[in-house]
Amino acid sequence: MPLSPSWRPALLTGVCLALLTGCGGSSDSRSGGAAEPAGSAKVAVVASTNVYGDIVRRIGGSRVDVTSVISDPDQDPHSYEADVQNQLALSKAKVVVENGGGYDDFVDRMLNSGHNDSAEVINAVKVSGRTAPRGGELNEHVWYDFPTVARIADRVAAALGQADPADAAAFRKRATAFKARLTPLEAQEARIKKEYGGTAVAITEPVPLYMIEASGLVNRTPAQYSEAIEEGDDVSPRVLQETLALFTGRKVRALVYNEQTSGPQTQKAEQAAKAAGVPVVPVTETLPKGEDYLGWMTANVDALASALGT
């Protein structure tokens, strides 16, 4: 609660400062001005997308106040420009969770502009240890990689514990419970690999590739097609025809389709797949409305298994 210039009396200012160590106390400050008990203020967290925001909430419970910058499917993290609200939230954050790998550079731009020099920053790509393959590009969509998500959960619990030591044990316990619920997802991938390992599939862009690879499937999509779609570029007629031939020639068992970046060239792939009787598995980059991470990923893996069995 910043002081208005019209509040002249020095006594009031002095009392406020003495009781609250500055009137800019937390939003949980009691009206009586009593000091907050240790650990009573929530840990402010900024996540670049609602995917990471949901993971933080699962681990932090009622002890965190999470701001997810991107939660609208129509917002593109690659080109997003932070606004004043985002900058204000980040300036107050004790923990920041970003994807990294060039996916959500707006977070680094805010941090590099001096909006917050003290927050603990968790970079999911760095946590993953993933690097670009020789001669290729890094697939930065690491939230489709369940072992990486498990490591992120541990890092989130550790960062929250540093910000709120009184609740550190609770954070670790929730992270353990969260990781246990990732195990059935990896088991489902293993079942797909056992039954369909080596089966060819197609994608519209690299979003689900970690899930596809962990399931033992082979991506047959021309790299020029999926890279162009991801970057928002036009696909050449030759590459487009090569991609469509995967469906007309029934060379793939399924099309895994990012429905958040639908356009004329991805729609042609979808139409060709459906016309050839090739199942289409829709996926997204951010959480669908009303979903949580675990439910969302369970639906994705189950849909992939179902499509392959069609």
Short-list 141, 179, 153, CA closest to 256: 141
Residue 16 has pLDDT above 70, yes or no: no
Hey, what amino acid is at 200? A
Paired tokens of 97: 């969770």
Average pLDDT, the chain: 87
* pLDDT-derived band at 220, boundaries 50, 70, 90: very high
User: pTM for the whole thing?
Assistant: 0.85
Query: Is there a domain that residue 55 lies in?
Result: yes
Query: Is there a domain that residue 270 lies in?
Result: yes
> What's 133's domain CATH number?
3.40.50.1980
Query: Is there a domain that residue 33 lies in?
Result: no
Domain range enclosing 47: 43-180
* pLDDT-derived band at 15, boundaries 50, 70, 90: very low
- The pLDDT tens digits of the residues spanning 111-140 come to 998 878 899 999 999 999 999 988 888 999
Q: State how far Cα 11 lies from the chain centre.
A: 49
Q: Are residues 160 and 266 in the same domain?
A: no
What phi and psi, each to the nearest 5 degrees, are found at residue 191?
-65, -40
Q: Are residues 188 and 246 in the same domain?
A: yes
172 DSSP β-pair partners? none
Short-list 26, 22, 48, 46, CA closest to 36: 26
Q: Are residues 168 and 67 in the same domain?
A: yes
Total count of domains within the chain? 2
Q: Are residues 218 and 166 in the same domain?
A: no
Q: Are residues 140 and 108 in the same domain?
A: yes
- The pLDDT tens digits of the residues spanning 186-219 come to 999 999 999 999 999 999 999 999 999 999 999 9
Short-list 280, 300, 257, CA closest to 146: 300
Q: Are residues 187 and 297 in the same domain?
A: yes
